[in-house]
Amino acid sequence: MISIRGISKSFGETKALQDVSLEIQKGELFGLIGPDGAGKTTLFKILVTILLPDAGQASIDGLDVVQTYKKLRHQIGYMPGRFSLYQDLTIYENLRFFASVFGTTIEANYDLIADIYSQLEPFKDRRAGKLSGGMKQKLALCCALIHKPEVLFLDEPTTGVDAVSRKEFWEMLGRLKKRGLTIVVSTPYMDEASLCDRIAFIQNGQILAINTPEGITGKFTKPLLAVRGKDTYRLILDLRKAPFTDTCYAFGEYLHLSLKTDTVSEAQVHTYLQEKQHSQVEIQSITPTIEDTFMSLMHAS
């Protein structure tokens, strides 16, 4: 459905995308995961036909993003990372504007947005600039959907949105997927990555891995421990120096410590930390998350 072959794009010296290839199937909920500056927005802009690649080709449903961009624009919906809404227009006016750009009306495609728009309708005369982050996000999604696209591109749709709205938003994506839409979404949140059918990790303009969430975590084969102690700062420094350590990162209130080999026991890690005068040490073996795998792949690349 979406075919990306050898796409590269530079801005001066910055290589935003380097030879990126990727296939996304029809009806997939596909996640693009990567840190700031990884190249996610650049890839989105090329796919939604507003930026030209330096090299490579991409097509959506057989339509080339450069050669057939006009036709393609009717089939795709795009929710940019920074809000696309007109702040001075009301909810209703924003939606009507986006519908008219595509030569349609709100009424004609109401069924596709009804589920989301019904939550906004009581406030339809409120200006977009006066809405909360979660409401702006819902309106932006309605605006991206109002011309009934087949593919939806959402660039960091939940950044800066509260936890409840984030959850609701992903539930909405699940419902849109059930209606047959292909959805490509970028996010810096690893918990959201696990809700996708497949994900691609992107860093420095390159794809590090593409797989299902389970397939991604299955790549993490080293033993992993969660470690906590009284002095977190000294703990991380000492663990990073330890001969058995592969990587050690802070994950919330714990440190995640991956070991070079499975011959090292938790007791040995305990002994090492006791020798370094650490107190209140807690160690437990854990199952790797998507974030652990990403950190490990980033470290290895």
| Amino acid type, 119 | Q
Instruction: Classify 7 as helix, strand or coil.
Output: strand
Q: How many CB atoms lie within 10 A of CB 235?
A: 21
In angstroms, give the least distance from the CB of 154 to ligand ATP: 12
User: Counting contacts by CB under 6 A, is residue 42 touching ligand ATP?
Assistant: yes
Interface of this chain with ligand ATP, residues 8 to 27, rule: CB under 6 A: 11, 14, 16
In angstroms, give the least distance from the CB of 47 to ligand ATP: 12
Rama region for 168: left / alpha / beta (φ>0; ψ in -120 to 50; rest): alpha
In angstroms, give the least distance from the CB of 186 to ligand ATP: 7
User: Counting contacts by CB under 6 A, is residue 34 touching ligand ATP?
Assistant: yes
Q: Give the β-pairing of 63-64 and 55-60.
A: antiparallel
Residue by residue, DSSP assigns 142-179 as HHHHTT--SEEEEESTTTT--HHHHHHHHHHHHHHHHT
User: Counting contacts by CB under 6 A, is residue 36 touching ligand ATP?
Assistant: yes
In angstroms, give the least distance from the CB of 10 to ligand ATP: 8
Instruction: Single out the residue of 31, 40, 48, 172 in contact with ligand ATP (rule: CB under 6 A).
Output: 40
Smaller CB separation from ligand ATP, 38 or 173: 38
User: Counting contacts by CB under 6 A, is residue 118 touching ligand ATP?
Assistant: no
Smaller CB separation from ligand ATP, 82 or 178: 82
Instruction: Single out the residue of 7, 28, 39, 181 in contact with ligand ATP (rule: CB under 6 A).
Output: 39
Contacts with ligand ATP, 136-175, as mask; x by CB under 6 A: --------------------x-------------------
First and final C-alpha spacing in the chain = 29
| Cα angle 107-165-190, degrees, rounded to a multiple of 5 | 120
Smaller CB separation from ligand ATP, 42 or 90: 42
**Tokens standing for 164?**
């409840």
| Helix/strand/coil percent split, the chain, to 5 | 40, 30, 35
Nearest to 95 by CA among 112, 74, 76: 112
Those residues with Cβ within 8 angstroms of residue 10's Cβ, 6 or more apart along the chain or in another chain: 16, 54
User: Counting contacts by CB under 6 A, is residue 29 touching ligand ATP?
Assistant: no
User: Counting contacts by CB under 6 A, is residue 268 touching ligand ATP?
Assistant: no
Smaller CB separation from ligand ATP, 42 or 293: 42
Nearest to 248 by CA among 235, 230, 231, 262: 235
Smaller CB separation from ligand ATP, 18 or 68: 18
User: Counting contacts by CB under 6 A, is residue 41 touching ligand ATP?
Assistant: yes
Smaller CB separation from ligand ATP, 27 or 56: 56
Smaller CB separation from ligand ATP, 112 or 196: 196
Smaller CB separation from ligand ATP, 36 or 275: 36
256 within 8 A of 249, measured Cβ to Cβ: yes
In angstroms, give the least distance from the CB of 213 to ligand ATP: 20
User: Counting contacts by CB under 6 A, is residue 38 touching ligand ATP?
Assistant: yes
296 within 8 A of 248, measured Cβ to Cβ: no
CA–CA gap between residue 87 and residue 162 (Å, rounded): 20
Binding site for ligand ATP (CB under 6 A): 11, 14, 16, 34, 36-42, 156
